[in-house]
Structure 1
Amino acid sequence: MIFLFPSDYFNPKQVDEMYIEQAASLNKAGFNTAAICLESLGDNSPKISPPLPPNSEVVYRGWMLSPSDYELLVNAVESAGAFPFTSQAEYLLTHYLPNWYPAIADLTPATKFYTIDDDLESELRTLGWERFFIKDYVKSLKTSGGSIIEHPSEIRAIVAEMQKFRGTIEGGICVRLVEDFVVESEKRYFAVRGKLFAACEGEEIPDIVRECAARIYSKFFSVDAVERQDGVKRIVEIGDGQVSDLVGWSAERFAQLWGR
């Protein structure tokens, strides 16, 4: 198995600074790593250094990629005679909220999906919720006024802000019911080949996380769980493991997931 990271913009043969610690921990654990110039994905010969060993299994660890760019990444790996650990279908299953939501609808806040051309204000009025969390298929707004609104009339402004600060709306609009979470209780878990891991070795995995993982058919993904004010555990979101940050995790602990 080899881990493939984005390369440094000025030195394509070196892993980007943001991922150096992860790469070093994986190397220390006995794994090989390589760097790929993501800007070269559309080229006939994408820049990967060192070259991927033939027949190797490749785990990408890097920034989120659009479906088309991830397909290019898969093509680059396969053109090198290697195999992607996560297929295109698996990537989209856990990367796009509408793809994983139906499997765990009872474990996570109620969610509705729209296009940017829908009459969003009218749709939100129909829902009748007190507060709405707005995001696209992948991300929420981290700048300006944030992603939570109380009045349907605010929806157009927040969508415009998302387009301004993010450059695009990926997929469509997701409107989630805001539940009363204890924010500081949120934790990230990783699932690798059906086995769940917490940020601290020996830490108990909540039952809701185990139930969630049992319903998701992907070899590598993250699960974020949180506690509500009433003490009930809820799933916040699921993500493709390759592009999930190590929130609350050390690079050393992450390397342990892939025990040899």
Structure 2
Amino acid sequence: MAPVILFCRDPLHPRRADPHFAEDVRAAREAGLRTALLDHDALLAGDAGGAVRGVPRGAGDAWYRGWMVPSGRYAELAGALAAREVTLLTPPDAYRCAHELPGWYAAFTSVTPASVWLPAGPGRAPGAPELAALAAPLGGGPGIVKDFVKSRKHEWHEACYVPDLADADRLAAVVARFVELQDAFLAGGVVLRAFERFTGAGEARVWWVDGRPVLVTAHPDHPDRRPEPALDAVAPLVAALGCRFVTTDLARREDGEWRVVEVGDGQVSDLPRGAAPEPLFRALASADTALSADTAHE
């Protein structure tokens, strides 16, 4: 039996998928996949049982395809689905591994900017001494601030970019503003990354299913720019990560090296405007559902 794709429902029209995923729904059905709807708002509110009430019991194996979900809520989603005899093909530990930088960083250290991190809760920015100690292994120089999942690059100078990580006061100010703006959406804690300069060609988002690159698109922030990255160095690292459905965002550094800017769980990675989703859903339809969580994420 083909897997079911769980899409977020439209809050205004609960019997249909969120319009943002309309093309995904069409491509999934054309690929022979079954579809069902869940309530993303209810899931975020902590009502996982209510969120999956519309998912048929006994639907079997499933991929989620929708808006971003905090790792803890995703685990609750997996539990609520299991109670309905539905199994997510990306289990909670694999979702966290691909979704949060501390989970994927070790596998990609050789091809991504040097990074350090510190757990922190919403509204609790680490102080200057703590941040100075955290930043010390990066050796100074420019850096960026983010949480385990996202940055605030649209507030670049205010809450993202630090001209010199050795400037403890400036670093603390940027981190404090970042934590303030993230508010309740702060994911996991604070990450500091060494800043690397890339060419202006844009980023390529590579979609991987069971270690195979099945689709290359532009990054959603710049849908008009899509470089063609070399994947020879990245492919074995994706395989080593061991997560079944992931994305890697790659950009070319000014010295010509392709670098991994971000890794993400493919279920919650966005397609850029105008990208054709058919290859992605054909790959998900043909994925080996016999792979267990244990063998897929070691």
Asked if Structure 1 and Structure 2 have the same fold, meaning a TM-score greater than 0.5 normalized by the shorter chain, the answer is yes
Partner of 1:117: 126
Distance 1:204 1:154 in 2: 35
Distance 1:70 1:44 in 2: 9
Q: CA deviation at 1:126?
A: 6.8
Distance 1:117 1:91 in 2: 27
- The code of the aligned residue for 2:210 comes to R
What SS class does the counterpart of residue 3 from structure 1 fall into? strand
1:201-257 alpha-carbon deviations (Å, 9 max, x no partner): xx7852122132122111111111221111112111211111111147422333232
Partner of 2:283: 257
Distance 1:215 1:174 in 2: 23
Partner of 1:29: 31
After superposing the two structures, state which structure 1 stretch, 154-163 or 61-70, moved more. 154-163
User: How has the CA–CA distance of structure 1 residues 128 and 77 changed in structure 2, closer, same or farther, with 3 Å as cutoff?
Assistant: same
Q: Count how many residue pairs are aligned between Structure 1 and Structure 2.
A: 258
Partner of 1:78: 82
What SS class does the counterpart of residue 199 from structure 1 fall into? strand
Q: 1:154 aligned to 2:170?
A: yes
Q: CA deviation at 1:131?
A: 0.7
Alignment TM-score, normalising by the size of structure 1: 0.88
Q: Which has the higher helix share?
A: 2
Which of 29, 46, 52 is equivalent to 2:56?
A: 52
User: How has the CA–CA distance of structure 1 residues 104 and 66 changed in structure 2, closer, same or farther, with 3 Å as cutoff?
Assistant: same
Distance 1:64 1:167 in 2: 16
Q: CA deviation at 1:162?
A: 2.4
Distance 2:136 2:215 in 1: 39
Partner of 2:112: 108
User: How has the CA–CA distance of structure 1 residues 177 and 47 changed in structure 2, closer, same or farther, with 3 Å as cutoff?
Assistant: closer
Listed as ranges, the matches of 1:180-195 within 5 Å are 180-195=197-212
Distance 2:93 2:277 in 1: 27
On the 8 A contact 1:12/1:49 being kept in 2, the answer is no
What SS class does the counterpart of residue 46 from structure 1 fall into? helix
After superposing the two structures, state which structure 1 stretch, 241-250 or 131-140, moved more. 241-250
4+ long deviations beyond 6 Å: none
After superposing the two structures, state which structure 1 stretch, 111-120 or 61-70, moved more. 111-120
RMSD value, Cα: 2.4
Where does the alignment leave 5 or more consecutive residues of structure 1 unmatched? none
What SS class does the counterpart of residue 234 from structure 2 fall into? helix
Partner of 1:174: 191
Listed as ranges, the matches of 1:210-249 within 5 Å are 210-247=235-272, 249=275
